[in-house]
């Protein structure tokens, strides 16, 4: 049996210095690819981190986050079957 790896539909860029560790983005992430770090940012908060794979690009974490500029979601848009995916920012 051959394992097929699904291509990510998006990716997330987390600004650790803007994050206040509220966890709203983690709770809203339906694929479950966000978590709170064990490390602290300069304000003393456990900031949210993207685990690197599995993002659906839905943007729920972006809309749940109360901090402007803390999360940027990139959704992959397929241009054509023979061309590579292109990332587009939601915010």
In the chain the domains, ranked by start, together with CATH numbers, are: 10-89 (3.30.70.20)
Predicted local distance difference test score (pLDDT) of residue 77: 73
Long-range own/partner contacts, residues 80-86 (CB < 8 A, 24 or more apart): 85/7
pLDDT (tens, 9 = 90+) of the chain, 91 residues, equals 454 455 688 899 999 999 999 999 999 999 999 999 999 999 999 999 999 889 999 999 999 999 998 999 998 876 555 555 556 566 5
Give Dmax (Cα) for the chain. Answer: 49
């Amino acid at each position: 049996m051959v394992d097929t790896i699904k291509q990510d539909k998006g990716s997330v860029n987390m600004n650790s210095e803007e994050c206040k560790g509220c966890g709203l983005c983690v709770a809203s992430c339906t694929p479950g690819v966000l978590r709170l770090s064990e490390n602290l940012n300069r304000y003393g908060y456990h900031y949210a981190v993207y685990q690197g794979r599995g993002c659906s690009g839905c943007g729920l974490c972006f809309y749940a986050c109360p901090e402007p500029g803390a999360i940027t979601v990139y959704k992959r848009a397929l241009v054509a079957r023979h061309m590579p995916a292109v990332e587009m920012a939601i915010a």
